[in-house]
Each structure stands twice: as C-alpha cells, then as structure tokens.
C-alpha cells in the first residue's frame, strides 16, 4: 500500500465516523417521522444501522482526497489570491 493510500485510508476512517453519525441521525429521524416505519421500528432500526455503516465507507472514501491540503493548492479563491 502506497503512502498516499495510507493517508487516504486514515482520513477516510476519521471522516467515516462523522459520516456514519450523520447517516444514522438522518435515518433515525426518517424512521420516527414516517408512521409506517415507526410502526415497524423494531425491524427498521437495525436495517438503518447496517445501512449507515455500509454507506459510510464509500462516502468517506470519496470525501477523503478533498480534505488534503494538496488538493486545494492552486485552487485559491480570487478574494484570497488578490
């Protein structure tokens, strides 16, 4: 595994926790707000928990390169560059 991949994996693992929390919260609100899902919460909640874990990995992997300072070099907004 290259150094760049290790860095991306480290960033993705940190971001993955936050993405998982957001997905979990959004899913929980959806389950509690929709009456049909709320009636079957014993089934819907475990499914939503697994889905949030599964979806957090690819989303965080996609976000990770954009969080590196190297990605933003040369992309300074006009108000900073002058």
The 10s digit of each residue's pLDDT in 15-53 is 999 999 999 999 999 999 999 989 999 999 999 999 999
pLDDT confidence tier of residue 65, bands split at 50, 70 and 90: confident
In whole angstroms, give the CA distance from residue 60 to residue 66: 10
Sign of CA dihedral 31, 32, 33, 39: positive
The predicted pLDDT at position 60 comes to 96
Residue 72 has pLDDT above 70, yes or no: no
Cβ distance 31 to 41 under 8 Å? yes
């Amino acid at each position: 595994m290259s150094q760049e991949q290790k860095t991306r994996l480290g960033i993705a693992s940190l971001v993955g926790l936050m993405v998982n929390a957001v997905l979990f919260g959004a899913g929980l609100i959806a389950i509690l707000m929709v009456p049909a899902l709320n009636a079957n919460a014993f089934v819907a909640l475990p499914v939503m928990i697994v889905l949030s874990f599964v979806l957090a990995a690819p989303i965080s992997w996609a976000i990770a390169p954009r969080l590196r300072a190297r990605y933003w070099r040369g992309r300074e907004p006009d108000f900073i560059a002058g």
